[in-house]
Every structure is written in C-alpha cells, then in structure tokens.
Chain A
Amino acid sequence: MMSFNALIYILYLVFFILLFLPIDTFFVRVVGAKKFSTTLPPLLLIVIFLLVMIKSGIIGVIYAALTFAGLWAFFYGFLSQRKHIYILAIILFVSCILFHVLGINKIAEFFATLVYLCLALGAFKDVFYDRIVDE
C-alpha cells in the first residue's frame, strides 16, 4: 500500500539532492559535462508528474490543468493594481445585491464568494507584496 509512497518519496529526495547539492562539480569530474543541475531536476519532476498521472488517471490531468489555471489567476491577481482588485470587489458586491433582490440566490451566493476572494487577495497583497516581490 505504501510502496508507491516510498517510490514518490525517493524521487523527491533525489530531486532535493540534485537541487541542493553541487552536482555539477561532481558530474564534471565523472563525465566531463556540465548543466546537469538545470536539466535533471525538471526531468525528474516530469517523471514524478507522469507517475502521479498514471496512478490517478484522467482526474490527475484535470487537477493539473485546474492547478495551473488557479496558480495563473492567483499570481495575475497578486501582481495587478490593488485598486483594481478592490473596485472589482465593489462591482461584484453590487451585482450580488442585485441578484439577491431578483431572487436568484444561487448566483448571488456565487458572487458573494467572488467578493470574498477579491477582498482576501487584496488583503494578502497589502500584507505580503513587499515581502515577496523585489521592486
């Protein structure tokens, strides 16, 4: 049951070794070639990714697509002007009230969640932007 976990763990460990240890120095001595530190880690990640895909089937591919879309949306929002994020929150908030008044509560709830996400993103940006991004 845990053998697959062990395999994934070992691959992560190798990835760690490739990333954190000066392997280029080692490979230059052994095979006389450089650039292993920039080519092997992504290859290893792809191998782990494929193994996880094999284990999870089609759902893994969907998860991967959604994760990339989610990360893209988060970083794009994070790098946008803070004013735009808050204006968007206000627009969504007004729409939310409008839909609630019209009795379409499911859409109103959906918009309320979007308002919450915009506010959370704005707050996250306000607090962490200076600590994360090098201007």
Chain B
Amino acid sequence: MNKSITKFTLFFALLGIAFLSSGTMASNSVDYYKELFRSWNLTIDTIETQEDTAGINYVVEPPENVNTIGADSYLLLLSSQKLSPGFSYRNIILICDTDDLLNSALPAPCTYTTLRDINFSLLKPDESITSNILGEVIRPVVVGGVTYYVVPEILLVTPEYRLKLGNYFKALADADKVTLERGGALSKTPVFDTVDKLRNSSILEGSIYAFALLTVVLLAGRLLVLLGSRSRSNFTKELFVVVYRRPLNFIRKNFDVIIFIFFIISTLYIPIIYALGVRGALMGDSGYAASYILNTLNPTNFPQVVMSKNIFKLGFLGYNYILGIFAVLVTLPSFISIIGNSVNKFRAFSLKNDFIKWAVVAVMWVTTALLAFVEVENMISFLIGSLSFLMLSLVYMRNRKIVLVTLFNKKEGSIIIASMVLTLTLNITYPIYLNGTPIKYSHEPLIGLNKEIVLFPYSKKWGKNVLFRPHFYNGISKVFADGYLTYNQGAQKIINRPLSAFEDSGNFAIISGKIEPTIEILLRNPGILPLIQSNSFSTIFSFADFAGQQAPRIELAIICTANPEPATINLEIYSLGRDEAEQNAIITESIEILKFPGCSSSDGTKIFEVPLGMPPLHENFVIARVVGTEPSIFLEVKLVTGDTEIPLTFLNKDILNENKYSILYQTPGTAKFITSYSADVEKEFPIDVKTTEEGFDLSAPINELMKMGVLNNPFIIWTDQGIEVIQR
C-alpha cells in the first residue's frame, strides 16, 4: 500500500517537473531560424550541442528525424556550434554567425557578412544584381556526400535580403517535392497509378461536393422539408420540434451516459491540481495552481496559450473545453425546464392594475426628470433598465389587452400631465441656468491618500469640477505638475512656455514631453539640439545628410545578458519637408533594418551589421530613433559608409521615455525669474511664487492649471530630486 502511494506521489511529482520543464520553447536563434526555414516550407531539424574541454561541441540531443533522413529534410546548424568531425546528415543548412574563418567544419569560407569573396554588407539589397549573387548561396556545396547550403547570417537578419533568400528556399522546397514526386513515380505500381489518376480526376472533385451536400441534407433534412412546406399551421410547431425538441430529447435520452462521462472527466482535475501543486511547491509559489488555471482559461490569453507551443497548456485548455461542453450538456435540460417554468409563471400571473399604471408613470417620470440633470453617458445603465421595464410593461399590457389611458381617472390624468410638464420645464430651464452660472467647484485634498507616508512622484486622479485645498511645500526641489514647473526654490516668477517658443536666454529648463511633438520642435529649432545632446549612447540621435557616399550600413551591438526576445527592429527617421509644399510638414519614414533572431546570455554582446536602405533625406540633418524593442538592449549603434563612420549626435535618452517626465536640460544656478519649456505646454502659464511661513501652496498653481483644463487625468506631481516625502 505504502509502495503504491509512493509510486503515485512520484508519478505526479514527475508530472509536476514535466510542467516545470515544459515552459515556453527556448527563444534562442536556432529555434528562431528553424521556424523561419519551416515557414519557407522546408523540413528542418536541429540538434542540441554542448562544448567539451577541447572546445569541440558534441551532440547532446539528436535531430528528430535522424533515423528517417530523407532527401527533403535539412539539418540546421550554426557555425558557432563547431561540430566534431564525423557527424553527418544528408542536407545541412549552415548559418555562419561568427567571423571565424578558420573553423574546420566550414565547407566554404564564410563569416557573418561574407561568403567566399562576397561581402554582403557592402552590397545594396534592392539592386537586381544582388538577386543574382544570392543565387550563389542556394548553390549547394557537396563535401563527403553531405550537401551544404551555406548562409551568412546577415542574409537572414536584413529584411530585404531575407525576403529574396526566402523566395530561393521556397523554390528549393518546391523542387524537393518535384524530385520526390518524380522518384515516387518510377516505383509506382499500377494500383498507385490508378489512385493517382483518380485523385486528379474531376469525378472525384464532383463526388466530394455531392458527398458534402448529402451530409448537409442528412443533418438538416427535416428542416428543409419544413421550410419547403406550404402549410403555415404546422410550421411553428414543427420548427420548434426540429430546432429545439430533437436535440434536447437526444440529451435527455442519453443523460446517464453524459453525466457518467462528465463525472469521469471532472475527476481528472484532481491529479492535474496535484501536479500543479507539486510544481508550485518546487517553485515556492503556493498560489501557482490557481494562477495557472486562471491564466490558461482566461479567454484574453487564448492566442498566447495557442502560440506557446506548450503541449501541457494546450492539452489543459482542450481538456477544459471538453469539460465545459459536457457541463453544458449536463445542465442544459434543467436550464431549459427552468426557463419553461418561468415563462409559464409569467404567463399565469397577473399584476394589479394599480401597480402597473403607477410603475410605468414612476419610471417615466424619474427617467425624464433625471435627463435634465445627468448626461446620458453617465446614466446608460439606468436608461437601459428603464427602457427594458417599459418594454416588458408594454408586452404585458398588450397580452392582457390593457389600455393604459383607460386606467386613470381625470384627476390622476391631470396629475400625470402636470408632472410631465414639470419635467419639461426642468429640461428646458436647468441647462440654461447651468450655462449662466459659474462652475461650482468642490474642494478636496491634493494628497488624498490616508497613508502615513506619501512620496513624490505622486499620481493624482481627479473628478469633475474639483479643486484642491492648500498643500504647503517646504522642500528645496523643483516641483512639477505634468510638464509644468510649479515651484522653484528662490525664484519669484516662473513662466511655463511651449518648447516651440524657446529662447536661449536667462535661466531656463527644458522638460520632456510627448516624443513626436518634441522631435518636431527640435527639427524646426535645431538650436535646442546642443543643449539636449548626450555624451553617452542613446537610441535617438541626429546626423547630417550623407547622400552620394557609398552604400551605408548600420551596426547594432546588442546586449544579450537579458535574453532579449526576437523582434523586428526599425529605424524611424524624422525630417522637415525640403520643398515649399512640404516646408511645414514633418516627414516620418520607417525603415525595417533588422530581423533580430533573439540571443541568450551566453552570447555576451552580439553585433549585427546590416545594409541600410536609406531614403533620400529631406533636410540637411535628420533625427532618427531605433524602435521595435527595449532601448536598454542596445549597447551601440553605428552608421558606416565604406570605411567611414558617420558621426552621430546622441540625444538625451529621456526624450524617449513618455511614461516618465524628466528635465532634459537646465541652466546652472538659481535666479529670480525662471522659464520652463516643454512640448506638452500649449499656452504660456506664469506663476508668481509667494511663500508664506507654512511654505509654498502647491495647490494654488495646480488649481489654475485645473481651471485651464490642461492637466492629464491623473496628473503627475514630480520633482527634479526623484523620490521625496510629501506627506508624513
């Protein structure tokens, strides 16, 4: 007994571990390229290797099809895998992902950018001659009976190269099929020959359609007969029988079987929860089982679950769908009988006339009176409730042949008409009164949290027509509300101005705002650029026109320590229109520069050098930013033409962070007058800084901004010192 309990526990512990190890598939570059080549219709295998002490890799996990290697399956290898000699496969696609030319396993001299003497980083991918050169890649190299397709990685990460290469490999897949078909034809027996003829015949095609029609007729035959019937008397009843009774009768007839299957399926939940519990225990997460079940069954997560390629998750989801179907089948007869029962009750009962007449009047009166004071958007649920009640009342009165107007005597009728006139008066006069009177603000604390300690930055959510009670500040920081400077110690006057009105004079600060308006202003007013440039690397930069020079390349150094996921990386280029028609327009062009295959922490830093299909620039200088993944994964970005590196002026990376306000530049020292510029400021807003013994009332300028309606909801109160206590 004990033994079997131990075995039982061990089984589910192993099941739990299987869950653990089944996570999502590793997103390393081999897996990424495997999927890519598979999308080009090739049958691809991969192997897992491990490096031994001599630096030679040996196979840890053999390919899936190692025993059934056919002419149409390919092994995908990276040159960095450095396979030991002796390992063979009939077709190998070798991706050169290093610059090591001395690798003995290479059947042809190949690096990340070169194959034989061709350097793909120096070619223009969109030129027609490039297509011819790409043809060289697809020409295989046969060494010792093994056919190698050698591909420099640059061809897979550069979008245009990849598109063209994909066409070649798709053609290769088609060619394989042709070879197989031809090879198969030679060995075909007369029986197979007949099958082939039949498969391609129009008779078979016609038969499939006929069979499909027959199936439809079998399933919906009675319904078709019914719809074709001229008799209207039987129509409703028969339709009811076909559509409703027959499936229900089937369920009722087989109810015992259904409930037995439901019971068996539902008991499977016990081992599943046990296994999830084991996994949770191993992970130290007691709520793991619940979160796993909820995450998997959440309909919004459906695409992720399906795409996760996790067999357990998919199986669990499928199992739950089956369980759900059986649960519906088990409860359906009872549910339908409840509905039928309720319909019978509703038909049988009779409301008192006094109730129905006053209920209808009350609902109408309350609804029409509320319409005078509350906007429709804020009373949707009430309106729908009111409409539903009135509709049901109409149905009830129609069935009972009640004419509402006859239920009231003259006195009651006069009262109702008077009450409706009252609502009419309210609906006419109240909006007029509202327009003529100043807005009545309610007051609430600026820091509304009932907590002992509250820190800047603070997010304040506000309701309609709200102002804030005084909140005094005694610190030394600059305090902002969204993009507006509200307090600066020592300053007597603060002026908030739009960044477009920038003047390089006096004491000032430049605050970050929304990215695209900021870039637009920087293009129109290049004088700001030197103030917000950065000495360190950032993914937003400006550069001068380099038209007429050799084919440009872009070099991206990516930090792999955070295991970045595969992504499509774009370069967004912003420039001002050159000719008169476009003079005031900002032209944005997005160029796909890299199909990043992902990398793992063991790769350290990976450098991708790809040709840059640069559009003609519209202005002497442009601003560009690298988008498509987290900016933090980039260590460096370089633009190169020939052997010359194009100088890039990196801009303050805080421009790119729309989720956080920051000071992009401020003049040193303090002054009595300070100007704050931001792209978020649309209208000049001056503040006289008056400090009392209690400190500076932050609510005063914020209330003015609230009245102007320029603050976001919620708005952020923040300081230049980062975290700071505002309520203790």
Partner-B contacts on A (CB < 8 A): 1-2, 4-6, 8-9, 12-13, 15-16, 19-22, 37-38, 41-42, 45, 48-49, 52, 55-56, 59-60, 63-64, 67-68, 71-72, 75-76, 79, 131-135
What residues of A have a CB within 8 angstroms of the CB of B424 in the complex?
13
* Interface segment, one of B125-133, B389-397, B510-518, B552-560: B389-397
Within the assembled complex, what's the spacing in Å between the Cα atoms of A114 and B404?
36
Of all A-B residue pairs in the complex, the 10 with the closest CB atoms, nearest first, are A134-B350, A76-B342, A56-B380, A9-B371, A134-B352, A63-B384, A2-B431, A79-B345, A132-B355, A67-B388
Known A-B contacts A42-B394, A45-B387; the reply to A20 vs B416 at CB < 8 A is yes
From B349, B351, B368, B391, contact of A13 by CB (8 A): B368
The answer to whether B342 touches A9, judged by C-beta atoms less than 8 angstroms apart, is no
| Nearest A residue to B390, CB-CB | A45
8 CB < 8 A contacts A-B? A2-B375, A5-B371, A5-B427, A16-B368, A19-B360, A20-B408, A72-B342, A79-B349
Contact across chains for B384 and A64 when beta carbons are under 8 A apart? yes
Whether A52 contacts B368 by the Cβ 8 Å rule is no
Bound CA–CA A20/B423 (angstroms) = 16
Residue of A nearest to B398 (CB): A38
CB <8 Å contact, A20 and B351: no
CA distance A4 to B374 in the complex (A): 11
Assess the B403–A37 pair: CB atoms within 8 A: yes
B549 at the interface (CB under 8 A from A): no
- Chain B residue at minimum C-beta to C-beta distance from A7: B376
Report the Cα distance A21→B408, complex, angstroms.
11
User: In whole angstroms, what is the CA distance A43 to B324 when docked?
Assistant: 39
Q: Is B528 located at the chain interface by the 8 A CB criterion?
A: no
Question: Which B residues are in CB contact (< 8 Å) with A6?
Answer: 427, 431
Bound CA–CA A4/B375 (angstroms): 8
Taking A9-B371, A75-B346, A76-B345 as contacts, is the C-beta distance between A55 and B380 under 8 angstroms?
yes
Of the residues B342, B350, B364, contact of A133 by C-beta under 8 Å: B350
Task: Tell whether B367 is near chain A: CB-to-CB under 8 Å.
Answer: yes
Contact A41 B387 (CB under 8 A): no
Q: How far is the CA of A8 from the CA of B6 in the complex (A)?
A: 71
> Which residues on the B side are within 8 Å of A59 (C-beta)?
380
Please name the residue on chain A nearest to B417 by beta carbon: A20
Specify which chain B residues have a CB less than 8 angstroms from the CB of A68 in the assembled complex: 388
Contact, CB under 8 Å: A19 / B404: yes
Picked from A19, A21, A45, A132, the residue with its CB within 8 Å of the CB of B352 is A132
B 411-429 contacts with A by CB, 8 A: 413, 416-417, 420, 423-424, 427
CA distance A60 to B349 in the complex (A): 30
A38 CA to B360 CA, complexed, in Å: 15
> Do A42 and B391 contact each other (CB < 8 Å), given the known contacts A55-B376, A76-B345, A134-B352?
yes
Chain A residues within 8 Å of B452, by CB: none
CA distance A38 to B405 in the complex (A): 12
In the assembled complex, how far is the CB of residue A50 from the closest CB belonging to chain B, in whole angstroms?
10
- Nearest CB of chain A from residue B581's CB, rounded to whole Å: 39
Q: Say yes or no: B380 contacts A13, CB within 8 Å.
A: no
A55–B413 Cα distance when bound, in Å, is: 33
Question: Do the beta carbons of B384 and A13 come within 8 Å of each other?
Answer: no
Interface centre among B367, B387, B392 (most CB of A within 10 A): B387
A5-B376, A60-B380 in contact; A19/B405 too (CB < 8 A)?
A: yes
**Chain A contacts of B355 at CB under 8 A?**
131-132
Residue of A2, A55, A67 near B385 (CB, 8 A) is: A67
Greatest chain B CB density within 10 A among A2, A45, A55, A72 is at A2
Residue of B nearest to A23 (CB): B405
A75 contacts which chain B residues (CB < 8 A)? 342, 346
Looking at the complex, which one of B346, B388, B390 makes contact with A79 (CB distance below 8 Å)?
A: B346
Instruction: Determine whether the beta carbon of B380 is less than 8 Å from that of A48.
Output: no
Are A71 and B392 interface neighbours, CB within 8 A? yes
- Report whether A13 and B383 are in contact in the complex, using a CB–CB cutoff of 8 Å: no
In the assembled complex, the Cα of A6 lies from the Cα of B352 at a distance in Å of: 33
- For B346, the chain A residues whose CB sits under 8 A away are 75, 79
